[in-house]
Structures are given as structure tokens and as C-alpha cells.
Amino acid sequence: MYVRDLSDQQELDGSQRPAAHQDALTGLANRRGLRHAGDAAETGALLVLELGGLTAINDVYGPDLAEMVVVEAARRLRTRVEPTDVPARIGDSRFAVLTRGGAIRAHVLASRLITVLTAPYAANGTEAHVSVWAGMADVTADAGFDEANRRAALALRAIRSGPPGTAEWYDEEMEDRLVRRSTLEQDLPGAVTRGQLELSYRPVVELPGRRPVGVEAVLGWRHPTLGPVPGAELLSLAEDLGLLGDVRQWAWHRAGGQLAGWRRHHRDLWLAVLVRPRELLDPVFQAALDTALETHRIPESALVVEIAEHDLLHGPGAQQPAFEDVAVELGRLRARGVRTAAAGFGAGPTSLRRLRLLPVDLLQIDREVFGRSDGVTDELGAIVDVTVTLGRRLGMEVIAQGLREPDDLDIVQAAGCRLGQGDLLGRAMPAEHLEAWLEQRRTGSPRT
């Protein structure tokens, strides 16, 4: 009886073992089955593929169609890999392939799978579409399968917010970036709540007499372990975390109060603030702006709202509004008296047609427009001449950003540029340092 019971148990275990390593819906290997195959592999590559859009399919067409898409995706996957490859379903919308080939073959396979998986899924007169991304990593005897799986997932995460159809190979720099990003994501909410962000100010001066005419607010954050976090990275992070409204309210209130104090002795001083395009359409941004103006009794003309050229290049998608919507909101700001600016012009291929459509008062040209290289000073001067002339024809005041060397100053002044900013004229500094800097210029004391 004991031998018979033991035999029955062994037979039951044997019948359950395939099910324990197999995905019930698709028949592919599951995570456990993939790991079992990976432990036996000494070399190769692991591809991790993410299907985007399944939630939308489920919400619009129902769970049956979403399940059909998963089953069909698994079938396509199975029929496109080699017999020695191991395809698997390792999540609700995630597949993987363990291949014995090297890096080149893995890249080719990833491209092929992305193409086949993004083809339309038709059923019962309905056509569904998904997006696909792929992360890849080496499988080696030293690293082991678990490490390869972690690296491939990191590579996938690095591109998941980017354009669909992308495949990326893991590298150590990528991991460093992701670790940094994860750390900042965890710590930023607390920093916002505790008021640990910082504002510094970069002067804008009239070039002929060095008279201060404005200041540009520079948002930053000094992380306790990672050090200074630049404003552009901070704003992008806050936008992704849904904290941009809180950050902006704090910045408007802080900068508005400081500007009001400085204008007691510098009546014409204005404040420029760089914003993200999506903020312009957010009622929270408008409310924070109104509150700052009213609380600190600042005239609208003393504020300049800047949009970076880089942000203007990105149309709808990636949670960014269309260029036309941004232009409309900038026009509304101008109509109420707030001035507007296009920052970093020259750093990207903004077309002249788009520049003409932008309702902006100030055009900030990037250093790469006039930064000197050996033997091309005359050519750079001609470029600046054209830019300044274009700005004037469009009714814009041109500001030369990033002035560092005396030669920079010579080039932009020869082109007729009246305003400038950069380390040569005044570095970004805390509010108390800027106050002393402004006082020196007001009283005519020696420059430092």
C-alpha cells in the first residue's frame, strides 16, 4: 500500500510539473518555466516585450477581446522564434523570449517581433491595436538568468515612456540613470512638502551700460546624496509625478515676494520664469500666477513667461499639448499684459514659420548661435545678425544667453543685440546675493 501511494504521488507530481511551468491562457512558458530554462542556459540573450494598450482595449471593447489579443500575440510570438528559443508570458501584458543567439541576432529578433506584434488584431468585425517596446540583456554564465532578467526589465523601463516600437539593450549607464530617477521620484514629494526646493536668479542686463533690467528665476533642488538637481530635470520629474502645480505655486509665491522687494529700488526690473507647455493649459498655473500678482502687487508687465524651444518642438503626445494650443495660451497671457519669451532659440530646428506664429515678446538666442570656434568668427557674426534682424522684424527683443567670453560680447553687440545674460555678466545666485549685486549697480559701487 505504501509503495502504491508513493507511486501515485510521483505520477501526480509528474502530471502537475508541466502545468507549473506553463501559462494557462497562452500555453507559453510562464515566469517559473522561463527561469527553469534560463538556469540551464550558459549564454544567449533575454528579450522582454511589453504590450501597451491592453487596458484601453479592455475598457472599450471588453475583456474578451483583450484576452483574444493576448492569445493571438502569444501565437505570433511562438511562430516567429526558433525551435531552440523559449517564448514565455511573464505578466498580464509582458512577454519574454530566451534565445541562444548573440547580440546581433537578438536585435534582429526583437525588431521582427515588434513588427509582428504591432500588426492589427481583428475579431468579430473589430480591429484592435497595441504598442510594443523591447528591453534586452545578455545571458552569461557569470551573471546568471536572474540578473539578465533584471537588466532586460531595466532596459524596458528606460524606454517605456518613449516612442513605441523601440528596442534597447541594457548598459550600466542606463542603470545609473534609472537608479538616479528612482531615488529622485521617491524623495521629491517630501522635498516639496518640506519646502526644500531652491530658487536662484540670473541677471539680464543692458549690454551698453550693464544696467540690470531683469532676472531669470532658476529652480533647483539640492538632493542630500545626489547633489544639485537642475531645473529642467526637476520640472520634468515634477510633471511626471503630478507635483508640478505644487512646485509652481511655491515658486511663484517665493519669486513674486522677492521681485516686489527688489522693485522698490529698481522699478523697471522684470522676472522671467521658465514653464512647461502643459502648465499653460492648467487652471492651477493660472490661479498661482494670479495669486502672486495680487498678493505681491506686481504689474503684469513685470512678469515674463518662458517656453523652451526644445519643449516647443514636441507636438501632442508624451502628455504635451499641441504647438497651436501653446501659441493660443501665450497669446492670452500677452493680452492680459504678461510678457512671453522663447528660450534657447538656436538649440533646435524650430522653423521660421513656427517662430512667426509664436506670440512672444522676447527671443533668447542660445550660446551655440554665437559661441566662437576658431576661424569662424565672421560666420557666427553673420548668423547673429540674421537672428537679431529676424527678431526685430517680428517685434521681438533679442537676448543673448550664455555670454562667457569677451569675444561673445563683441559678436552679439556688433550684431545690434541690446540685452544679454551669462557668467560674464552675472552668474545665477541666491536671492540675498542678487540683492547685494543689484545694490552695487544702483549706488555705482565697484563691481565684483
User: What is residue 81's three-state secondary structure?
Assistant: coil
Cα–Cα distance measured from residue 203 to residue 214, given in angstroms and rounded to the nearest whole number: 6
H or E stretch at 215: strand 212-223
Quote the pLDDT of residue 104. Answer: 87
C-alpha–C-alpha distance, residues 137 and 170, integer Å: 5
CATH domain 22-171 topology? Alpha-Beta Plaits (3.30.70)
Q: What angle do CA 93, 95, 98 make, to 5 degrees?
A: 170
Q: Give me the pLDDT at residue 442, please.
A: 79
Q: Are 333 and 281 in contact (CB under 8 A)?
A: no
CA separation for the pair 215, 232 (Å, rounded): 18
| Three-state secondary structure string covering 11-55 | HHHHHHHHHHCECCCCCCECHHHHHHHHHCCCCEEEEEEEEECHH
SS3 state at 290? helix
Other CB atoms within a 10 A radius of the CB of residue 416 amount to 13
pLDDT in tens, 218-252: 999 999 999 999 888 898 899 889 999 899 999 99
3-state secondary structure of 415: coil
pTM for the model: 0.71
Residues 288 and 274: their CA atoms lie apart, in Å, by 14
In degrees, rounded to 5, the angle at the alpha carbon of residue 323 between the alpha carbons of residues 317 and 326 is 105
Query: Residue ranges of the chain with pLDDT lower than 50?
Result: 1-16, 315-318, 373-375, 446-448
Hey, where are the domains in the chain?
22-171, 186-443
E strand or H helix that includes residue 200: strand 197-206
Q: Please name the fold of domain 186-443.
A: TIM Barrel (3.20.20)
Question: Where in 276-368 does DSSP place strands (E)?
Answer: 303-308, 339-345, 362-365
Question: Which cell numbers hold the place of 70?
Answer: 493576448
Q: H or E element: which one contains 127?
A: strand 126-128
The Cα 75–Cα 72 span in angstroms is 5
Burial state string for 256-293 with b = 16 or more CB within 10 A and e = fewer than 16: bebbbebbeebeebbbbbbbbbbbbebeebeebbeebb
What residues pair up with 305 in beta bridges, in sequence order?
A: 273, 340
What pLDDT shows up at residue 1? 44
pLDDT at 33 (0 to 100): 93
pLDDT value, residue 197: 94
What value, to the nearest 5°, has the Cα angle with vertex 191 and ends 190 and 195? 120
d(CA 235, CA 241): 10
Cell numbers describing residue 110: 526583437
Among 376, 374, 397, 377, which Cα is nearest to 387's?
397
Element (H, E) at 107: helix 103-117
* CA-derived radius of gyration, the chain: 29
Q: Cβ atoms within 10 A of the Cβ of 424, count?
A: 14
Mark 232-253 as b/e (b = at least 16 C-beta within 10 Å).
eebbebbbeeebbbbbbbbbbe
Q: What are the residue ranges of helices labelled H in 336-396?
A: 352-357, 367-370, 377-393
- The number of helices, as runs of H, and strands, as runs of E, in the chain is 17, 17
Rounded-to-integer distance, Cα 362 and Cα 339, Å: 8
Q: What H or E segment, with its residue span, contains residue 258?
A: helix 244-262
Q: What does the pLDDT look like over 379-436, one tens digit per residue? A: 556 777 887 888 888 889 999 998 998 988 988 898 889 999 999 999 999 999 999 9
pLDDT value at residue 448:
43
Give the C-alpha separation, 184 to 230, whole Å.
Answer: 12
d(CA 447, CA 344): 28
**What single string gives the DSSP state of each residue in 162-176?**
S-TT-EEE--HHHHH
C-alpha dihedral (112, 116, 119, 121), degrees to nearest 10: -160
CA nearest neighbour of 417 among 385, 383, 393: 385
Q: What is the number of residues in the chain? A: 448
